Chains A and B, each alone.
Chain A
């Protein structure tokens, strides 16, 4: 369970976002990535998925 099946490098923005979700243990809704206050710089998300405009982030804990 330690080995990544899909080694996708995360940007600092994504890492911080996921860290926040994991620490809060609550899901996070981003209705508009471009306008989100959580995502200051949406470019890291764009690099993973150029189509990503909204997202629901769920903690697995």
Chain B
């Protein structure tokens, strides 16, 4: 519990005054109660988040064990849905698999997109952030898609925002508008 630091309370007075020890003890006790309540809420939130994560992972594990009967596509869809749910601020999730024959990254499952756009989200291998991740095998984080070194302004693939083109946000909006 000592790892939590929520902040500080400032009790202000409009005149200089001394603080008797018993008054300080009393206020500290009250303050500790508030801190304890905050810790309880924080721990509850953490437990709920961990439980949600564990449930999602258990569901994926169960689906993987039954993939022969329910189909790989359903398992992949479950994975992207869970990823989007576990990362609340994620607007869209795409799971690409490599099509070695056509040298493409093919979306096998998406979340946050309109379903009919799924088949048009193919990407060429080696392009953009996804291409870098596949080439290096390492995770890449992009804080601002407009300022990534992996930008591909001349990108011609059908999901330019995933390639992190220079005007990717505008193009994504345009894409969604055209396909709504």
**A, B bound:** yes
Residues of A within 8 A of B (CB): 1, 18, 21-22, 27, 29, 31-35, 45, 49, 51-61
CA–CA, A61 to B13, complex, Å?
Answer: 23
Which residue of chain A has the shortest Cβ distance to B8 in the bound complex? A18
Which residue of chain A has the shortest Cβ distance to B7 in the bound complex? A60
B51 interface hit (Cβ, 8 Å)? no
Partner of A56, one of B2, B5, B27, B41: B27
Nearest 8 pairs of A and B residues by beta carbon: A51-B14, A32-B16, A60-B6, A58-B31, A56-B11, A52-B12, A61-B5, A60-B35
CA–CA, A18 to B14, complex, Å?
Answer: 20
Known: A27-B31, A29-B19, A29-B24. A54 touches B13 (CB 8 A): yes
B49 interface hit (Cβ, 8 Å)? no
Q: Is the CB of A31 within 8 A of B19?
A: yes
B34 interface hit (Cβ, 8 Å)? yes
Q: Is the CB of B35 within 8 A of A56?
A: no
- Number of B interface residues at 8 Å Cβ cutoff, please give it: 27
What's the minimum C-beta distance from B2 to chain A, rounded to whole angstroms? 7
What's the minimum C-beta distance from A27 to chain B, rounded to whole angstroms? 6
Which residue of chain B has the shortest Cβ distance to A14 in the bound complex? B10
Known: A29-B19, A31-B16, A32-B16. A60 touches B24 (CB 8 A): no
B18 interface hit (Cβ, 8 Å)? yes
What's the minimum C-beta distance from B98 to chain A, rounded to whole angstroms? 39
* In the complex, chain A residues whose CB is within 8 Å of the CB of B15: 53-54
